[in-house]
Amino acid sequence: MGSLFSSSGDDLASRLGTSPWVLYSVAGFTFYAVLCSSLRFRRLRTMRKRLNYPDRESLSRMTNEDAQKIVYYLSIYEFPVLYDFSLRYAIFKTYAIDNIGNLLYRVSDLARPTEASKRYDDTQVLFASYVNFPPGSEALAKSVARTNFLHQPYRQCGKISNGDMLYVLFESMHEPVRWMRLYEWREMADMEVAAIATLWKYIGEMMDIDYRAELGKDQWKDGIEFMDDVAAWAAEYENRHLGPSPDIAKLGQVLVELMLSAYPSFSRAPGYKILMVLMGERMRHAFGFPEPGVVESVIAYSLLLTRKLFIRYLCLPRIVPATFISEPDPVTGRIKHYHFLKDPWYAPATFWARWGPEALFRRACGLKVAGDGGEAMLPDGFLFEDIGPRNEMGKGVEETARLAKAAQSKVSASACPFALPKKG
């Protein structure tokens, strides 16, 4: 059989006027590409079948628990890199809103280069907690409660408005959908879009965001309709509030410098130009950043297109999850952080984290690895009372616990938030 196959291949190669090895290589490459392309959609098909959301009509019965499961698999298996980056972008974009950016520059550690690294990672671990921990869990309630505790003084005095909170929620659910549509190997399916909107609506309710006050309604047929309504509202909100100011420009400069300083020095200049391209015209104007040139734009979009095609046709699906934070330690309750930006906040100093391939590369580039900074970086992980400015670390334990119970009581974890009451 082998000799027959070899003989047939040699004959075909001879007729085509090429080497048999070229023919075999092309056939092997084609088979591998078809295999990758076929397996790439397997996880989506399995998830859709297992949770039974085959069409748009079925999305109205999606529960908060199912929504979290779907978003979780998106973030650790399907799109871990760009999902994470799109959330970073979403958070950064909210800083261009006049009320949010000006307030952060005046009162937040984000505006201080020496403290910005911790505050940035604090925001990241809170957002990771919203996705990682299922509705109804103590860890999710505590993560939302800590957010509410840190925002509480500013909401009570009117410095953070209900509209500001809704806009941050909108960007957090909208940007991942937009980034996957533009830059990932596939766009999100309706089930996944609905899941993101459903999960963030649940988080928003735990944060006491009043949807009716901004949107004029509090009932929708599914997550997609909810996202569409918030998107229409957000467009008007941006027209009124997304604009330049000296404080926002200074805040943007600090944060861009922080992000670039987390990468090797040789990559910072081209990284800055690519960042300017991806930021978009409105954000560049709001932060006062320069316009990129045509060459930078072509390079940035070409790299993204190449990555998209490479993953789509030449990469087998991820089988090892991209873990951003751990489960709470059963004894101490501490949660470890595996994806710090610049300083290794809450990152465990394991042998692999300090001497593995990525760590060796970071060392060679003069960047920090887990364990650098000692106990000040809390390498055993964080408790939620560690999240926030240094002067708030360890404070508000009782208040955070009270807010956690209040947040859990606001909405049922297993509820179908878009199931409309029956008439009659």
122 plus 206 within the same structural domain = yes
Q: Which pTM was predicted?
A: 0.91
179 plus 202 within the same structural domain = yes
Whether residue 388 contacts residue 146, with contact meaning beta carbons closer than 8 Å, is answered with yes
32 plus 78 within the same structural domain = no
79 plus 17 within the same structural domain = no
103 plus 192 within the same structural domain = yes
The answer to whether position 241 is within a domain reads: yes
C-alpha dihedral (285, 118, 131, 192), degrees to nearest 10: 20
The answer to whether position 415 is within a domain reads: no
Whether residue 163 contacts residue 237, with contact meaning beta carbons closer than 8 Å, is answered with yes
Confidence band (pLDDT; 50, 70, 90) for 422?
very low
Amino acid 31: pLDDT: 86
pLDDT of residue 96 exceeding 70: yes
The answer to whether position 192 is within a domain reads: yes
Which residue type, as a one-letter code, is found at position 4? L
Last residue of one domain, picked from the residues 314, 348, 379: 314
Whether residue 230 contacts residue 215, with contact meaning beta carbons closer than 8 Å, is answered with yes
pLDDT digits (tens, 9 = 90+) for 369-418: 999 999 999 999 999 999 999 888 988 899 999 999 998 888 888 888 88
pLDDT digits (tens, 9 = 90+) for 103-123: 988 888 888 888 889 999 999
pLDDT digits (tens, 9 = 90+) for 148-195: 999 999 999 999 999 999 999 999 999 999 999 999 999 999 999 999
Rounded distance, CA 145 to CA 56, Å?
33
Choose between 132 and 14: higher pLDDT. 132
160 plus 300 within the same structural domain = yes
20 plus 107 within the same structural domain = no
Which residue segment(s) compose the domain that 10 sits in?
Answer: 6-40
Amino acid 111: pLDDT: 81
| R_g of the chain, CA atoms, integer Å | 24
The answer to whether position 343 is within a domain reads: no
pLDDT of residue 242 exceeding 60: yes
Q: Average the pLDDT over 52-68 and give the result.
A: 95
Rounded distance, CA 16 to CA 278, Å?
45
318 φ, ψ to 5°?
-65, 135
Quick one: how far is CA 1 from the chain centroid?
A: 52
36 plus 61 within the same structural domain = no
Rounded distance, CA 308 to CA 168, Å?
28
Rounded distance, CA 127 to CA 144, Å?
9
155 plus 196 within the same structural domain = yes
pLDDT of residue 44 exceeding 90: yes
Whether residue 137 contacts residue 148, with contact meaning beta carbons closer than 8 Å, is answered with no
The answer to whether position 337 is within a domain reads: no
Choose between 204 and 396: higher pLDDT. 204
**Residue 351, both tokens:** 């042998």
Whether residue 43 contacts residue 37, with contact meaning beta carbons closer than 8 Å, is answered with no
Residues facing residue 337 across a β-bridge: 325
The answer to whether position 345 is within a domain reads: no
- Selection from 417, 416, 337 nearest residue 383 by Cα: 337
Percentage of residues of the chain with pLDDT beyond 70: 93
Last residue of one domain, picked from the residues 285, 314, 343: 314
Amino acid 112: pLDDT: 84
The answer to whether position 173 is within a domain reads: yes
Amino acid 415: pLDDT: 80
Rounded distance, CA 294 to CA 313, Å?
28
How many structural domains comprise the chain? 2
14 plus 137 within the same structural domain = no
Percentage of residues of the chain with pLDDT beyond 90: 79
Amino acid 1: pLDDT: 46
97 φ, ψ to 5°?
-75, 130
36 plus 93 within the same structural domain = no
Last residue of one domain, picked from the residues 270, 287, 314: 314
110 plus 258 within the same structural domain = yes
**Residue 83, both tokens:** 């999902």
The answer to whether position 29 is within a domain reads: yes
